Structure 1
Amino acid sequence: MKINIGISETSTRKVVDELSKLLADEFMLFTKTKNAHWNVEGIGFHGLHAFFEGQFIQIDEIVDRIAERIRSLGHFSLASLKDFLQHARLSETIQGDHSAVSFIKNLSNDHQSLIITLRANIDLFATEYKDYGSSDFLTSLIAEHEKMAWMLSAHLNDKLTSI
């Protein structure tokens, strides 16, 4: 059943297309954060293991909310690894070794990329597509990613950079 929420089907499709790319990027970031959680090595391992776990749990919740937003717009969400790989703008590759610094730099850069993408779509969703709900939704995601990026970057300003 098609829903009527006052947004044209053309606009809804464009919003869903962009949300699908975001969903794929978030799933990619979730996977990379899991990788860091499982494979980080070095001094401070235990604390970083727990830190990365907290972040992947938060990203998993974001993934779920994006998929549900897509469904609330009357479309189906991407749900396969193949689809995520085809639609993601973020690379699945971690550059560097399994050190905390490598993981933190990679994840921080990905969060920053997502923030820039989110920021670019907020006005587009509201002004061009008249989807104020999705625009507001993206605004809430920016704040979450800004905090996660800050938490990651704060580790680089600590003693880890001298190790």
Structure 2
Amino acid sequence: MNSPNNGNKMVDMGIADDDRKQIVEGLSKLLADSYSLYLKTHHYHWNVTGPMFQTLHLMFETQYNEQWTSVDLIAERIRALGELAPGSYAQFAALTSIPPTVGNPNAAEMIRDLVAGQATVVRTARALFLTAEKVNDQPTCDLLTQRMQMHEKYAWMLRSLLEN
């Protein structure tokens, strides 16, 4: 867990310190999962091939651009809660539940991998939601709801490409 940004001021926003730190831990995991999925999606954008190249290249670009914006929102929420946001590859690797890409997957494997990644981010957000809701942290609940909605939508869009 990161320590408060200034070390000597208490953050008092109506959320008990232990609850606030628990929320920050969950947001840090969400940030790591989101950043890992962003990197994977961008990687696939660069390296996709095959008959669906144009469709996937553009879809992946749309998704990684939105994901890039979301990592900033998550990190800023962590800062608003008075903690430092993780930001190194080592920190993200230790926190993420999204496995790195192995080898050079084909387009269908990329899609399946991204569906799994989208679902992972949704599960991470959903796991934190109850904690944030319990302590009336509405800004975090709002952020989590928006992230779940977007990642569920992307998972649906990607799954539709795998249908016959």
Is this a same-fold pair by TM over 0.5? yes
Mapped contact 2:122–2:151 kept (Cα < 8 A): yes
* 1:113 paired residue number: 120
How is 1:6-45 mapped onto 2 (pairs within 5 angstroms)?
6-45=14-53
The two structures have a TM-score, normalised by structure 2, of: 0.88
Structure 2 residue runs without a partner (length 5+) = 1-8
Helix, strand or coil at the partner of 2:63: helix
Equivalent residue number for residue 89 of structure 2: 81
Q: Tell me how far 1:51 sits from its aligned partner.
A: 1.2
* Percentage identity across paired residues of the two chains: 36
Q: How large is the RMSD of aligned CA atoms in angstroms?
A: 1.6
2:75 and 2:85 in contact (8 A); partners too: yes
Q: Which amino acid aligns with 1:116?
A: R
Identify the structure with the greater helix proportion: 1
Contact 1:36 1:52 in 2 (8 A): yes
Instruction: Please show how residues 32-111 of structure 1 align to structure 2 within 5 Å.
Output: 32-94=40-102, 97-111=104-118
Q: Is the 8 A contact 2:23 2:131 kept in 1?
A: no
5+ long unaligned stretches in structure 1: 159-163
2:149 counterpart (139, 143, 149): 143
Which of 129, 135, 144 aligns to 1:122? It is 129
Take 2:150 and 2:80, find their aligned partners in 1: how far apart are those partners?
Answer: 21
